[in-house]
Chains A and B, each alone.
Chain A
């Protein structure tokens, strides 16, 4: 059973770069043709998809964050990572990593997020 675990600093200063890593256990990050995503949730608010990465390194980012986001993958460590630059208080949130499950028939693919990591709170404050 695949499990995901986020790690990284819980406190980041404004204007600095937020860096998080998601470690995948119970299976290979390279197996199964999965995308791997980051999603965040400010306290008491809804969910925002940040972006996704394939094990080839191919990425898709949310246009609202694209100028500040970089994702990478390290298959040797079974990890993928998120960097968000020039953070402000508005970036304070619980950050989740998740696998993007899929069900494809021909060219039609349905995607969903499962499983998720437990989430890690990142606070942007001086």
Chain B
């Protein structure tokens, strides 16, 4: 299975900050990488698919980049609604699809 490693596991930031979360795959996955946001008690919500494509309805302050093994999710100006846990997930080749362990974004 392809292993997905996120960093950092958690971070503290203030409203308005630029936030960057990284995800590394254990092997090259081209751009077959998705990002999700999960708030407590809620199901995850897709933000980015295919590494950099913004899902319809997702604010433009979210962006994704990367290819191969290294990927980044950036929030350009953190808003109160963005405090949540973020997961990366690969969809390369045949299943199983695996998720990163998550990055919790907390209020500083």
Which of B16-24, B41-49, B69-77 has 4 or more CB atoms under 8 Å from chain A?
Answer: B41-49
Which A-chain residue is minimally distant from B95 (CB atoms)?
A60
Task: Report the interface size for chain A: residues with CB under 8 A from the other chain.
Answer: 24
A114 touches B95 (CB 8 A): no
Proximity string of chain B (74-100) to chain A, C-beta cutoff 8 Å, 1 when within and 0 when not: 000000000000010101001111111
Chain A hits for B34, CB < 8 A: 112-113
Partner of B50, one of A64, A103, A113: A103
B49 touches A47 (CB 8 A): no
Chain A hits for B95, CB < 8 A: 49, 51-52, 60-62
Size bin of chain B's contact surface: 20 to 34
Chain A hits for B98, CB < 8 A: 49
Partner of A118, one of B43, B91, B97, B101: B43
B50 to chain A, nearest CB (A): 4
A113-B46 contact in complex given A46-B100, A60-B94, A62-B95, C-beta closer than 8 Å = yes
Proximity string of chain A (47-58) to chain B, C-beta cutoff 8 Å, 1 when within and 0 when not: 111011000000
Considering the complex, which residues of chain A in the window 84-116 have a beta carbon less than 8 Å from any beta carbon of chain B?
A: 96, 98, 101, 103, 110-114, 116
Extra pairs beyond A96-B43, A111-B91 (18, CB < 8 Å)? A46-B100, A46-B102, A47-B99, A49-B97, A60-B94, A61-B95, A62-B96, A63-B96, A98-B43, A103-B49, A110-B50, A112-B46, A113-B34, A113-B46, A113-B89, A114-B45, A114-B46, A114-B55
